[in-house]
A and B are shown apart, each in its own frame.
Chain A
């Protein structure tokens, strides 16, 4: 797992009070059991931590640690 994935997993785990890190590929809502409002708070926290802004039209695509990490890594490279 990349550093970015690790950091995101840590935020998700802490905010959603999960017993373990979520599977990076798992859908945070349908598989990790996180509800939609919590998912938004997690995304807000990630935006703040990484100083990025996920475009509104991509918010609904940020469904897993892997996808969020991919977005952040791409944003950093750009």
Chain B
């Protein structure tokens, strides 16, 4: 059987004004390039389940308009997509099906909207694919695909059984950041989070030795890789985090991950993170407004941490680890003053990177259901506008125009050359003062 694994990739922005502005701002362009260049770990993982006698090709489609003629001699095409690209994914699925090729759809969005996806596919994978993909492949070979392949208990897959992703399918020259996953799920209850809809709130970790085995597979192809951990919240369990960092230290990698602000409470962990090559952590600060923080995390964890944000950022960055602070704009508790408040906070705390996005009602999230129930969605299925940069709902504390213009204002204020340079200088001065050192030695793959 010939299996095509297709990832809909890249960053999307529908707003022409914001698009035009974004490409002129170095701080925005850089992170956009990084995100666009990340391979789909989900598909590489499923590739490992495909029996060796079958042929696999991994393909990324970042713009359907310019993709040209894709190979069309597959027996089965599996397409994975985030919400913003899903309509393009459906269009591609339709093209393949018109040629008589079987299509399976899966991923975050499709798992929430299986009936919608089924209109464009022979089979839809709901939930994590590891448990259902083997049966889907077998059924396809028999010519008996079922309409839905459903993970029986959401978030129950044991990561100790995680198959080794097929990194060997990637063109080594095309990728400069490689993804590895150490955990799934997150204990926080952020109503806008699409990931926890797929992975659940139970926190599952991959055994450290398995993470290291995957890293070693990566190092065989990229001797000094930059690793982007494809995690939701890596350091919820500090003991596991320290064990992971200690195991990474011998590998001479540099890495990035997403976690929460609580890492700042553990100096030993911060030291180990730096020593093991941590360059940056992305933290969902979400909002610094007292009037909105309870909307960012329904259990109030972030509200309880809000007062510590400034000190925590300072502590993390003083360990040589840069912070990418993420802010969401457009909560009901936000009025038009939010933009200036975020600007001031980002500049005063010297966050090396910031990510400002608009509250987005991703399919299946509590935010989506709330907006829909309250009749505030401009379109009931605004998937192509779920880019994180486009406004898809009617805000409460300001007008739509104010929210759009406020986002543009923050783009200009936070991503311009002057601010970008100032952040660079701040980081350089921190690194001069560092007392913790990364171990010297030969690069990974060269050490005996």
Report which A residues bind B (CB closer than 8 A).
Answer: 14, 17, 19, 33, 35-38, 40-41, 43-45, 47-48, 56-57, 59-60
Instruction: Say whether, besides A17-B443, A19-B443, A35-B226, A40 and B432 are in contact (CB < 8 Å).
Output: no
User: Given A17-B224, A19-B443, A56-B421, A36–B30 Cβ distance below 8 Å?
Assistant: yes
Q: Is the CB of A44 within 8 A of B280?
A: no
Q: Could you say which of A17, A35, A43 contacts B428, with CB atoms under 8 Å apart?
A: A43
Q: Are A40 and B254 in contact (CB under 8 A)?
A: no
Question: How far does the Cβ of B178 sit from chain A's closest Cβ, in whole Å?
Answer: 13
The reply to whether A40 and B431 contact each other, CB–CB distance below 8 Å, is yes
Question: Contacts of B424 on A, CB cut-off 8 Å?
Answer: 40, 56, 59
Determine if B432 and A57 form an interchain contact, defined as CB atoms under 8 angstroms apart: no
Q: Given A19-B443, A56-B424, A59-B425, 16 other A-B contacts at CB below 8 A?
A: A17-B442, A17-B443, A35-B176, A35-B226, A35-B254, A37-B279, A38-B254, A40-B424, A41-B428, A41-B431, A44-B427, A47-B428, A56-B422, A59-B421, A59-B424, A60-B417
Closest 5 pairs (CB-CB, A-B):
A44-B428, A17-B443, A44-B431, A37-B279, A41-B431
Asked whether B322 is an interface residue with its Cβ less than 8 Å from the other chain, the reply is: yes
With an 8 Å Cβ cutoff, the count of chain B residues facing the other chain is 23
Residues of A contacting B30 in the complex (Cβ-Cβ under 8 angstroms): 36
Chain A residues positioned under 8 Å from B440 (CB to CB):
14
B441 closest partner in A (C-beta): A17
Chain B residues near A33 (CB-CB < 8 A)? 176
B429 close to A (CB within 8 Å): yes
A residues in contact with B422, CB < 8 Å: 56
- Across-interface contacts of B425 in A (CB, < 8 A): 56, 59
Give the nearest-CB partner of A16 in chain B: B224
Tell yes or no: B12 within 8 A of A by CB.
Answer: no
Q: Is B109 an interface residue (CB 8 A)?
A: no
Which B residues have a C-beta under 8 Å from some C-beta of A?
30, 176, 224, 226, 252, 254, 279-280, 322, 417, 421-422, 424-425, 427-429, 431-432, 440, 442-443, 446
How far, in whole Å, are A56 and B425 apart by their CA atoms in the complex?
Answer: 7
Residue with the greatest number of chain B CB neighbours at <10 A, chosen from A19, A35, A48: A35
Q: Which residue of A lies closest to B421 (CB)?
A: A56
Q: How far is the CA of A36 from the CA of B30 in the complex (A)?
A: 9
* Chain A residues with CB below 8 A from B417, complex form: 60
CA distance A67 to B280 in the complex (A): 27
Complex Cα spacing A14 to B441, Å: 9
Q: How far is the CA of A37 from the CA of B443 in the complex (A)?
A: 18
A40 CB to nearest B CB, Å: 5
A36 to B422 alpha-carbon distance, docked (Å)? 14
Query: Could you give 17 example pairs across A and B, Cβ below 8 Å?
Result: A14-B440, A19-B446, A35-B226, A35-B279, A37-B254, A37-B280, A38-B279, A41-B428, A41-B431, A43-B428, A44-B431, A45-B431, A45-B432, A56-B421, A56-B422, A56-B425, A59-B421
Q: Which residue of A lies closest to B422 (CB)?
A: A56
| A16 shortest CB reach to chain B, Å | 8
A44 touching B443 by the CB < 8 A rule?
no
Q: How far is the CA of A35 from the CA of B30 in the complex (A)?
A: 11
Tell me the minimal C-beta distance from A59 to chain B in angstroms.
6
Min Cβ gap A27→B in Å is 14
Contact across chains for A57 and B421 when beta carbons are under 8 A apart? yes
